[in-house]
Amino acid sequence: MILKLIYTFLIGIFLAVFVGVGIAAFYPGPKYPEPPVTLKYCSPETAKNAAEYEEFKKDAETFDKEEKFYREKSQRYNRNVSIFSLVASIIIVIASLTFFKKILIIADGLLLGGLLTLIYSVMRGFGTEDNIFRFIVVTVGLIISLFLGYVKFIRPSEKSSSE
């Protein structure tokens, strides 16, 4: 019994990691801009003359623009990854409740993997800085969780009590 439980957790964890790594492999995220050398090793106080200070200021402004652009791209990326993983979790949950319902150990592992993928989707959704999108992702997560609870735990007890 304990071995089956461990196997179920193994399937669930590997499935969630598979989805996350698959998304990262085929849809890579934006790269953080490299700060200029002057920002790494200098400060406005260490500038020896006006020319060095102006160079430092120009580099800092350029890096700020690049960093802002990176944050915007990162928020879009997080939104897209959240959507991809949400769709993947829905597909996994549907597969566990339909195709694999006769093979309980695999169905339970897929169900756990779908839930972990759903949690991953919600976490990525929080990286979007968009409250409406966060609300939508959390709402979908809640609906899936309630539906799963009904299908997996309540409906089987209704069938057995009616027989």
| Domain count across the chain | 1
CB–CB of 117/15 below 8 Å? yes
Domain membership flag for residue 43: yes
Q: What percent of the chain has pLDDT over 70?
A: 89
Asked whether residue 161 is assigned to any structural domain, the reply reads no
Containing structural domain, residue 41:
2-155
Residue 63 lies in a domain: yes
Confirm whether 139 is domain-assigned.
yes
Quick check: 91 pLDDT over 60? yes
C-alpha to C-alpha distance for 12 and 20, rounded to whole angstroms: 13
Amino acid at 19: V
What's the CA gap between 116 and 122, in Å, rounded?
Answer: 10
Q: Is residue 160 part of a domain?
A: no
Q: pTM for the complete prediction?
A: 0.80
| CB 36, CB 63: distance < 8 Å | yes
* pLDDT at residue 83, rounded to an integer: 94
